[in-house]
Structure 1
Amino acid sequence: MEDLWAQIRELRGRDERRSGAPDEVKELLLVTKVSEEANEAAELYRRMKGWGTDGVVSATLPEVQDEICAAIMAGMVALDRLSPDGSADGVWRSYLKYGYDRAKKENAAS
């Protein structure tokens, strides 16, 4: 299997090509794609629960999971775009460590 960030760069290339936007706008589109996908996940979750649909369930857990993955993937694509020097992996790992250390500390204190 290819390296994670090589796969992300392939996805980024596709997304940038599909946008058809000028180069200076592509970055903004990739960043806003994160919230678009996250909102789609939230909407599917609501429909999976039957909330606001008179109890009718019109989405499945796998659909919600797929949209959550789409949001994560969009975030990684945007992070790669904002890290032109190839530092996305280091940025991600550093932030993950920060979040992990903070959660571990808070969990131990409770």
Structure 2
Amino acid sequence: MADEAAWDVIDRLAAWLDRGNRVGGEMQTVLQILKISEEAGEVAEAVIGAIGQNPRKGFSHTWTDVQEELCDVIVTAMVALTRVTPDARAVFAEKLERIERRALGEGVQG
């Protein structure tokens, strides 16, 4: 899926969430941001389960579960970004470019 198509899905998800939401405005934004932490906790639970670190549960998850949970974090963060700014696509693209330059150096070619 191309970047723009992914953002189109995010926009539709945000609209779907809006229709089922009982709060609006700033509270909706705050709750969406908090949802990122909830999803990150699910990643942690999946990692612990994938390596069998919980003696009570053993190997309760797989690395595929970890991948799925990481995707949930990404999608949730993308929705949250759309709540914070109407220019989420551009804000994310610009940030990714800055990270690329900082981490990989100027003049990096794909």
The yes-or-no answer on 1:100 pairing with 2:100 is: yes
Q: Give the match for residue 89 of structure 1.
A: 89
Question: C-alpha distance in 2, partners of 1:22/1:54?
Answer: 40
Evaluate the alpha carbon distance shift between residue 57 and residue 95 of structure 1 in structure 2; reply closer, same or farther with a 3 A threshold.
same
Matched ranges for 1:1-110 at <5 A:
3-53=5-55, 56-84=58-86, 87-105=87-105
Cα-to-partner distance string for 1:66-95 (whole Å, 9 max, x where unaligned): 1100000000000011113xx111100111
Percent of aligned positions with the same letter in both sequences?
34
Misfit runs of 4+, over 4 Å = none
Unaligned residue ranges in structure 2 (runs of 5+): 106-110
Question: C-alpha distance in 2, partners of 1:54/1:27?
Answer: 36
Residue identity matched to 2:30:
L
TM-score normalised according to structure 1 size: 0.82
Cα-to-partner distance string for 1:27-53 (whole Å, 9 max, x where unaligned): 111111111111111111111101122
Question: C-alpha distance in 2, partners of 1:99/1:89?
Answer: 15
TM-score normalised according to structure 2 size: 0.82
Residue identity matched to 1:58:
S
